[in-house]
A = this chain, B = another copy of it.
Amino acid sequence: MPIVNVHLFEGRTLEQKRRLVDEVTKAICNSIEVPADAVRIILMEMERTDFAVGGVLASDKNK
């Protein structure tokens, strides 16, 4: 504990993922004082055809 799910668009590089989990873990440790190895992060990638705001798919925006 804590366990974090991050829903984000697919397409990030491995390096970006490394930086994301590293920085989010540090942010959590600094703010609620838990040890780093207690923090688990699940990255849940999705396509733009699977996310909508205001009833419009992200893939259809700016068309």
Chain A interface (Cβ < 8 Å from any Cβ of B):
1-9, 12, 14, 16-28, 30-32, 36-37, 39-46, 49-60
Contacts and interface: CB of A to CB of B under 8 A. Distances in A.
A17 B50 contact: yes
B21 A52 contact: yes
Contact of A21 (B4, B22, B56): B56
A52 B28 contact: no
A22 to B, nearest CB: 4
A26 to B, nearest CB: 7
B51 A40 contact: yes
A30 B37 contact: no
Contacts of A52: 21, 25, 39-41, 43
